[in-house]
Structure 1
Amino acid sequence: MGRAFEYRKARKMKRWAGMAKAFTKVGREINIAIKEGGPDPDYNPRLRLAIANAKAVNMPKANVDAAIKRATDKDSANYDEVTFEGYGPHGIAILVQATTDNNNRTVANIRHVFSKYGGSMGVNGSVDYMFERKGQFRVKREKFQHDLEEIELELIDAGLDSLVSDEEEITFYTAFEDFGSFQHELEERGIPVDSAELVYLPTHTKELSDSEAEAVIKLIDMLEEDDDVANVFHTMDESEE
């Protein structure tokens, strides 16, 4: 599956390549965080994470400050987090996370993309049972100053489910309900989180041929093009082998 793997790698690189798209996503994260917990990051862990995510995509401080100011304006738009479920080509389950100030617009757009690119949008509960919701914390290797084996054992008591490590970064996963406490634990230990979010991990995946995979990837690409879409999760096997 070499060709499909290279195509997938290109898609992953593209995901954050659009700076305007990345800034829009972070701006909405800041808006939701402030509406929920106020504008002071010292007392709002979700806002701290949103600011950390802004740094991860190189969002200038002036832009972050402007986003915070806009979110505190009582006349600013209110964004809601919504999830859409459906199937892509070849039976691949797809979960779409979006943040929107106009749900009717977002529903229409997502439904159109599913239909146009060989998929179908389902009802709530149609595919979410195929995923587990996890907290995901990414730390750059160059910023990690601890013994990984030792810290892994210590973090298990704080809710660590698993971790994935490579030459560039370490990714920690925790149960959904432990997200906040695990974030606090990393802060207490001085582990600098590069980005953090709640993700949906598939409980099983399906391997496709190159041509089948490209059809699914096209649908995912077009969903990610929508300004309201924050994340797209799926059950397609993306392993190298």
Structure 2
Amino acid sequence: MALSRLLRPLQRAEYICEPCHSFSTSSIAFSGHNKWSTIKHDKARNDKAKSKERAMVGKEIASATQMWGPDPKYNPRLTLALSNAKRASIPKTIIEAAILRGQGLSVSGQALENVTIEAMLPGSVAAVVECQTDQKARVLQDVRYMIKDNGGIVTPTTYLFEKKGRVAMEKKDGTNPDDYLDQAIEAGAADITTDDKGRLVVFTDPSETKSVGETFAKLSGLIIEELEIFWDPNRDTMVEVQDEEQVKALEDLLSSLREEPSVQDIYLNSTEKF
């Protein structure tokens, strides 16, 4: 009887202790899992943002070099672009490659060749991927594989776009497109408007982009800030991506494509900017 009385409290103590121990352990594990997931998601989001920024700054450097040469002493646009690259902590190798690309050269000194790849990406978004490379076969293989491996399909899509030339002038307060309509017509531009930065922009036939831009600059007294040939999506064929999984798949694929050194521009017919 005495032995039974001694054992009974011990059994109750063990019964109370076990769930306490289990609760404490599971709580710590769950908290750690949440923290790790948050870190991974934040890192992925930051990596995508950095990839997009590197692509934009690299394009800015290449464009400035193409228009006014590779020497910053005689190229104020390149000086500004290099300053932006430094502020964004863009690696030196990317900057040097962009300057060479503006001269039509690869890092090995070989002449670059333009390559256009058409594809349908997740969310039924049509894409035109413009590349520059001295190894056409490799780029075609790598980029096509990247698209297919991330849920896309390599298929004709340029019929959903129109190729245009675009010249953006340096911003000037109080600029009104109507005030420069005559100069734009005389220069041979197809249209004139302002962009979201308040800059005057003229559109033209792709083959006449540089000549129209230079003529308009002389007639208007404005300075050319950007000059490019791009694929403009047809407004009646643009799509909106609403499914979250498709948005994520599209963002992941675009991030991978922008990490490919040969990829220069990616044009989409989506209503959202990615």
TM-score scaled by length of structure 1 = 0.68
**Residues 104-125 of structure 1, C-alpha deviations (whole Å, 9 max, x = no match):** 2211220121022110223xxx
- Corresponding pairs, count: 205
Q: Which residue of 1 aligns with 2:226?
A: 195
**Residues 124-147 of structure 1, C-alpha deviations (whole Å, 9 max, x = no match):** xx1111111111122342x46855
Instruction: Report if aligned partners of 1:52, 1:194 keep a CA contact under 8 Å in 2.
Output: no
Q: How far does residue 95 in structure 1 lie from its aligned partner after superposition? A: 0.5
Q: Which residue of 2 aligns with 1:176?
A: 206
Q: How far does residue 55 in structure 1 lie from its aligned partner after superposition? A: 4.8
**CA RMSD across the alignment:** 3.8
**Structure 1 residues 52, 161: CA separation in 2 closer, same or farther (over 3 Å shift)?**
farther
Q: Which residue of 2 aligns with 1:17?
A: 53
Q: Which residue of 1 aligns with 2:109?
A: 76
Q: How far does residue 53 in structure 1 lie from its aligned partner after superposition? A: 6.4
Instruction: Report if aligned partners of 1:23, 1:54 keep a CA contact under 8 Å in 2.
Output: no
**Structure 1 residues 115, 67: CA separation in 2 closer, same or farther (over 3 Å shift)?**
closer
Matched AA of 1:154: Q
**Residues 45-98 of structure 1, C-alpha deviations (whole Å, 9 max, x = no match):** x643886864562369xx79x849x879xx931111111111101221110000
Higher helix share: 2
Instruction: Report if aligned partners of 1:186, 1:192 keep a CA contact under 8 Å in 2.
Output: no
Query: After superposition, where does 1:90-105 map in structure 2 within 5 Å?
Result: 90-105=123-138
Q: Which residue of 2 aligns with 1:151?
A: 180
Match of 1:222 among 247, 250, 256: 256
Q: How far does residue 159 in structure 1 lie from its aligned partner after superposition? A: 1.5
Structure with greater contact order relative to length (CA < 8 Å, sep ≥ 6): 1
Unaligned runs of 5+ in 2: 1-45, 86-95
Q: Which residue of 2 aligns with 1:57?
A: 81
Q: Secondary structure at the match of 1:198?
A: strand
Unaligned runs of 5+ in 1: 1-9, 31-45
Percent of aligned pairs sharing the same letter: 18
Flag the structure with larger Rg: 2
Q: Which residue of 2 aligns with 1:35?
A: none
The separation in 1 between residues aligned to 2:165 and 2:221, in whole angstroms, is 18
